[in-house]
Amino acid sequence: MSLGTFIMRRLVQAIPLLFIISIISFIIISFAPGDVIAVFEDPAASHASTMLNADKIKKRLALISLFMFVITSG
């Protein structure tokens, strides 16, 4: 077995492993308690600005989730 064959075989084996690791880490993060939006909100801000910021953050997080889904689904 040549070195090139060995490297290619290892790279092919690494792809499913990285996919499984990313799914497991996503599941662990999604089960974390609390709301992600609440972390980004400023408690001293007014209610209207807080709601606007929450909507912006939700849209941004939805786009990131969609982007990650498209990348991982091929």
Token duo for residue 66? 């969609």
Determine how many CB atoms are found less than 10 A away from the CB of residue 37: 15
Contacts of 58 (CB under 8 A, 6+ apart): 37
Report pLDDT digits (tens) over 5-61.
999 999 999 999 999 998 898 888 878 777 666 666 666 655 556 666 777 777 777
